[in-house]
Structure 1
Amino acid sequence: MNNVPDIKIGIVAVSRNCFPEELSVNRRSVLVKEYEKKYGSDDIYECPICIVESEIHMTRALKNIEKEGCNALCVYLGNFGPEISETMLADCFNGPVMFCAAAEETQEDLFDGRGDAYCGLLNASYALKLRQTKAYIPENPVGDASECADMIHDFVPIARTLIGLSNLKIISFGPRPSNFLACNAPIQSLYDLHVEIEENSELDLFESFNKHMDDPRIAETVEDMQKELGEGIAFPEILPKLAQYELTLKDWIRNHKGQRKYVAIAGKCWPAFQTQFGFVPCYVNSRLTAAGYPVSCEVDIYGALSEYIGTCVSLDAVTILDINNTIPSDMYSENIEGKSFLKGPYKKGDLFMGFHCGNTSSCKLSSCKLCNQRIMARTLPEEVTKGTIEGDLKPGRTTVYRLQSSSDTKLKAYIAQGEILPIATKSYGSIGIFAIKEMSRFYRHVLIEKNYPHHAAILFDHYGKYLFEIFKYLGVPIEEIDYNKCKDRYYLTENPFWEED
């Protein structure tokens, strides 16, 4: 996947000087071998310089992992560990950090072979708090070599996202459309996250687009679009303009990323875009997103931010959809009621349709067709509304989520896991039937109660465990990270007597 960081995690073992150093040395060696056996050696580096017992050792280890190009750190407690130097290492390292610890191995060696890292991790967490140093600590942070290898592997998408965000620039074009207060984007929170923002006028984009009119790369890009769409090219005459626009955005990204390494785009698509450019940009947006450069609709800056987070986590195409409409009763009774799906059966209140005009990558659609934007065509000539990519979303597991800043620049987020059902939507756009347990309650007491916009970022598998840890690491207050609660757990604003008769 383009536009995301490569991760190299340095593993540094630590030891308290009154414990046998070989405990940490041997356990580190076994851990690294186990990791390489399960996950390969591309994203891990074993720091061989020393076991960290003091500040001097810490300095040596830090220089070594920096020299080796490590951009993430795992502090591994092979025994009790020295809370001062181990947390100083985390504080001095310029990148995301995790802590994990070794479990005891056998009842036959609980004298000199007992490491007490279970206890030492408590001291480490206390010292991290004193230093105000962020660190990822897994849900079950003490384990044997195989379990710790899994913990480090789970840290990879978290670290990749955190590094990506710290080097991200969001490029936006134009103010949000009129009557779209929901796309309000106070930029203070972006700077709090160390995300750069470049805001441009649609006129800047239009000028650049016109300069690409005779770009010699247009023919090659059209050929690539034809290959992707296959029989789904309803309007082949629009492809040269779409190719011209795609090249415009690609060149803008290259010329405007500046000191930042990664880019996401918050694009304008109406109301004047169609009449001036002569098409809608949805298909081009889908192609850039599939390549790792997320493009949100309607200048949704926090939508673009959320999409980029998902790109880093999943290394896969994401999309942004409206939490759009309910499921008709006859569709529910004929196709869904009483049937078992991946997480089913489902109540009607668990379901909704996620929709957007035509922005989802072809690889995430069951079939696709280049179409015109039906909603815009109600008031505009059909000729200028061509350029959407439409089809039902592929069924399977999904994560619906969003990171958002409120108008007072406070960060909040939600995550809900479920599935996209293998049921024909009988509608238009990029669209699918989403099933999320207790969605109706989540909709009322999170999405409405906490004033979230209608756009949701969509991942095509379950990634909630990573998103939750990322949002915590970014400093989102834990009470502001919401998820869909099961039936017997009430939301703060939920009336517990409502269903009683």
Structure 2
Amino acid sequence: MKKFKLGYAPTRRFVFSAEDAFKYKVMIREKIESFGLDMDIVDLEGLNSEGLLYDDHINADQIAAHLKNAEVDAVFFPHCNFGTEDTVARVGKALGKPVLLWGPRDESPLEDGMRLRDTQCGLFATGKVLRRFNVPFTYVTNSRVDDPVFERGFTNFVAAANVVRQFRNLRILQIGPRPASFWTMMCNEGELLERFGIEIHPITLVDIQLATKRIEKGTSAELEEAMMYIKSKMDYSEVTEEDVRRIAALKVAMKQYARSTGSSAIAIQCWSSLQDAMGIMPCLANAILTDEQIPVTCETDIHGAITSVMVQAATMNTAPTFFADLTVRHPENQNGELLFHCGNFPVSLSVEDKPKLKKHFLFDSHAPGTHESQIKGGQMTLARFDGDHGEYQLFMGKARGIEGPFTRGSWVWVEVNDWPLWEEKLVKGPYVHHSVGIHANAIPALYEACQYIPGLTPDPVDPTEREIQAWLRGAGL
């Protein structure tokens, strides 16, 4: 995936200090570079002598064309003094990308009573004109360059914009139809395309079976690398060498299909036709690919695959997701719940040095291929993109790992703030029993991303919408 690109379009207005605006242009650029985000910055240098957006010396068309040609994913308009609101709005409208509005807090007036910047006043003006142009934007509280609230707001905006860019370019590889008895996994492929531009690329289980057989019989470097990974990371004593080779071949086949189709994630019919045809379960292959930032969801859960891409994008793709059933309540903790699936959680999340590669414990075939292990606890985000009747929502809430009884498969017990509230929200919908977890706080970025995705409503349970907004304004700093 290409690196995230941020358009940097600092702005000033002619009646205020050009020297001070230039000083802040440099200072702000240095500050955002210090945050350590994995992104490229596209500025306005070379378009005029100052590299600033102001008046009509460089017009909106030129600036927009410059940023479009650079293929920026979002644009930041720091107001280095009052700013030029009409040009900012025209550029924002022409780009159609997420927009960040912020300006550094003003100093005291000079001894003679003159003021150098009046930045806050300009922010009021630009916000109004952006609304007139129907340009959605993110606003960070007027604050000093070194204030923590600026870093929090800026980094969250970039993460939210990363969610938007990956959502807008989303293609899911669908391997097989949903299991017949899983009506919960129905989705409206046409509506996903029409509403959000999300594409589904379907292939059959026969396609993946033939590709796996071809790779299994060969001697490719990819196959050898996958086998070495399994043998080095897993306790595979309960399965055969042939099983390891076939599981590795399936992983390679799925990755090759994802690459060749330009798919960001995979939804696979993991039971029961696949094990009947190939003699293995895909769980470990799913786990390895998810660790490689190609999340794979079980039971052909298209909405789950969409959620997985959004959630990992909200962390700037720095952490793997895990795809879980919301399974049973904790036997003692009233706010505890079991997150489980047969064996698909990323290997990197295991609490064991050598998690076990086993045979499936539920199905009669007992086919090999499940990766069984408890995963680490700590703070997590749980989320679910889902919809019905033409309405789509994004559920999100925070959880933390807790102790609980042993079970089989991939699993972790978690505690939330008010499980009966969660349960009611999830049962009454439009959600199902599947969720996506990540060991990070992805909620503010997911919440902010929703305002740039028409037709998607954020549905936070903990923290609440008001608490998220307060956090973005600097609560707790």
State the match for 1:31 in structure 2: 28
Match of 2:10, SS state, is strand
Q: CA deviation at 1:109?
A: 6.8
Unpaired runs of at least 5, structure 1: 333-347, 490-501
Could you say if the C-alpha distance between residues 184 and 100 of structure 1 is closer, same or farther in structure 2, counting changes exceeding 3 Å? same
One-letter amino acid of the counterpart of residue 293, structure 1: I
State the match for 2:358 in structure 1: 371
Kindly report which structure 2 residues correspond to 1:77-226, keeping only aligned pairs within 5 A, or say none. 77-93=79-95, 95-106=97-108, 108=110, 111-138=113-140, 140=141, 142-147=142-147, 148-187=150-189, 188-217=191-220, 218-226=223-231
Partners of 1:175 and 1:468 in 2: how far apart? 31
Q: CA deviation at 1:73?
A: 1.2
Q: CA deviation at 1:190?
A: 4.3
Match 2:337 to one of 328, 335, 352: 352
Partners of 1:363 and 1:372 in 2: how far apart? 20
Could you say if the C-alpha distance between residues 77 and 426 of structure 1 is closer, same or farther in structure 2, counting changes exceeding 3 Å? same
Could you say if the C-alpha distance between residues 215 and 250 of structure 1 is closer, same or farther in structure 2, counting changes exceeding 3 Å? farther
Match 1:325 to one of 323, 328, 346: 328
Could you say if the C-alpha distance between residues 111 and 298 of structure 1 is closer, same or farther in structure 2, counting changes exceeding 3 Å? farther
Partners of 1:41 and 1:362 in 2: how far apart? 25
Q: CA deviation at 1:467?
A: 1.2
Match of 2:202, SS state, is strand
Match 1:61 to one of 57, 60, 63: 63
Query: TM-score w.r.t. structure 1 length?
Result: 0.83
1:432-477 CA distance string (max 9 Å, x none): 1111101221211x11122311000101122211111112221355
Q: CA deviation at 1:313?
A: 1.9
Partners of 1:107 and 1:418 in 2: how far apart? 48
**Contact 1:396 1:461 survives alignment (8 Å):** no
Partners of 2:63 and 2:399 in 1: how far apart? 43
Unpaired runs of at least 5, structure 2: 468-477
**Contact 1:99 1:137 survives alignment (8 Å):** yes
Kindly report which structure 2 residues correspond to 1:438-457, keeping only aligned pairs within 5 A, or say none. 438-444=418-424, 446-457=425-436
Partners of 2:358 and 2:38 in 1: how far apart? 45
One-letter amino acid of the counterpart of residue 465, structure 1: P
State the match for 2:472 in structure 1: none
How many residue pairs get aligned? The number is 450
Partners of 2:97 and 2:463 in 1: how far apart? 33
Match of 1:481, SS state, is strand
Could you say if the C-alpha distance between residues 146 and 70 of structure 1 is closer, same or farther in structure 2, counting changes exceeding 3 Å? farther
1:236-273 CA distance string (max 9 Å, x none): 4310110111121122122222xxxx521111111211
User: Does residue 399 in structure 1 map to residue 377 in structure 2?
Assistant: no
Partners of 2:240 and 2:450 in 1: how far apart? 43
Partners of 1:177 and 1:134 in 2: how far apart? 40
Q: CA deviation at 1:180?
A: 1.2
**Contact 2:275 2:365 survives alignment (8 Å):** no
State the match for 1:409 in structure 2: 390
Could you say if the C-alpha distance between residues 239 and 448 of structure 1 is closer, same or farther in structure 2, counting changes exceeding 3 Å? same
Partners of 1:54 and 1:197 in 2: how far apart? 45
Partners of 1:14 and 1:109 in 2: how far apart? 26
Query: TM-score w.r.t. structure 2 length?
Result: 0.87
Out of 158-167 and 84-93, give the one that drifted further. Answer: 158-167
Out of 396-405 and 107-116, give the one that drifted further. Answer: 107-116
Could you say if the C-alpha distance between residues 412 and 25 of structure 1 is closer, same or farther in structure 2, counting changes exceeding 3 Å? same
User: Does residue 381 in structure 1 map to residue 365 in structure 2?
Assistant: yes
1:123-174 CA distance string (max 9 Å, x none): 3222222222232324x3x121124354333322222222222222111022
One-letter amino acid of the counterpart of residue 145, structure 1: V
Match of 2:334, SS state, is helix
Out of 24-33 and 60-69, give the one that drifted further. Answer: 60-69
Kindly report which structure 2 residues correspond to 1:326-341, keeping only aligned pairs within 5 A, or say none. 326-328=329-331, 332=332
**Contact 2:4 2:38 survives alignment (8 Å):** no
Q: CA deviation at 1:21?
A: 3.0
Partners of 2:72 and 2:41 in 1: how far apart? 8
Match of 2:314, SS state, is helix
Match of 1:451, SS state, is coil
RMSD: 2.4
Match 2:440 to one of 432, 456, 461: 461
One-letter amino acid of the counterpart of residue 354, structure 1: L
* Matched-pair identity in %: 19
Could you say if the C-alpha distance between residues 53 and 370 of structure 1 is closer, same or farther in structure 2, counting changes exceeding 3 Å? same
**Contact 1:32 1:46 survives alignment (8 Å):** no
